[in-house]
Amino acid sequence: MAEALSIKEPAREASSSGHNHWPHATRGEYLLGDFTFNNGERLAELRLHYQTLGTLKTSEDGKATNAVLIMHGTGGSSDQFLNAQFAGELFNPGQLLDAHKYFIILRDGIGHGRSSKPSTSGLRARFPRYRYGDMVRADHRLLTEHLGVGHLRLAMGTSMGGMQSWQWGEAHPGFMDALMPLASLPVQISGRNRLWRKMAMDAIRADPAWNGGDYPPSEQPRAGLTTALDILTLMSSSPLQYQAEAPTRDAADSFLERKIQNGLSLTDANDLLFALDASFDYDPRPGLHKITAPLIAVNTADDQINPPELGILERETRSGLKEGLGKVVVLPITEDTKGHGSHTVAKLWKHLLEELLLMTEKKADVKPAG
């Protein structure tokens, strides 16, 4: 899930001032005609929006050598990575994912950002019930059919994007050199993780103003959407983080009011409902043995959506992946961790990314694609 899930902050892109020297991203769109979803529903035209940084390079045999796919979380978009705490730690010259060295692909998944979604398609609640598997399949087509990428140096993602990293490894083994799922578990959504999602969805559906999803865009079901955003605010944060940001009663009340009002101004109820429901059939556990790329899975000890005390990440990585292929790191709570939102605070885990890249480095002569 995106930092603070669907309660989005305005996008901040590259700047030539300060310490941000990554190149401006190039935006693009790919239209997939007559796209059939796994449940049989269809869209005559599926629009996938994306941003890229850098130049694609290939080996002598034409294989892409420097492509990196980074996938956002629920309610997020490609914009969420173009800020100081992520791009500023990774994309600048000399950094781990130097955008002058790598071809970085940031896409808006189905139902998110500028890609096709209920609120902008005109379909509202009649939009196809997409699932994570549909998103991975569409992304694979974006890479192979449109961007000319038949191989990834790295596939990584945050929250929902982390879950899709596991799915990428299973669906397309050998397609990537390395995998880095952040803030995710390779098992079916269950327990409290399922409960809060269902609570948020039920709150939206229970609001009479939702009207089965057929409400005017200017008349959002505010009561149900407010409750859903309240739940997301709690689940995606950490006690230490919000105690520091709201140290008094009045500060806490004011903080929540600003947070929710911002969320209401940026969030469509159907978009959020569909995005949460997209996890319904997620369950990579039975197919973990298919993964062939080395993997480092990262979480923080204050993640309330994927609480480490469950031991799921360690158990499934150890039992499901081939021996020696996967590594799990749960980072301790610090003043810099932000609960589930730690997944986009790159300074917390970039040393593990460096380890993964070094572990999977291959020497090859490369040339610009084209």
Active site residues: 159, 303, 340
What are residue 53's DSSP bridge partners? 104
N-to-C CA span, the chain: 35
Pairwise CA distance, residues 268 & 218, whole Å = 10
Q: What's phi and psi for 41, nearest 5 deg? A: -70, 160
- What beta strand segments (E) does the chain contain? 26-36, 42-53, 57-59, 67-71, 103-107, 154-158, 179-182, 295-300, 326-331, 366-368
Which among 165, 268, 179, 280 has a CA at the least distance from the CA of 224? 268
Buried b (16+ CB within 10 A) or exposed e, 278-314: bbeebbbbebbeebbbbbbbbbbbbbbbbbbeeebbb
**Both tokens assigned to 101:** 């060295």
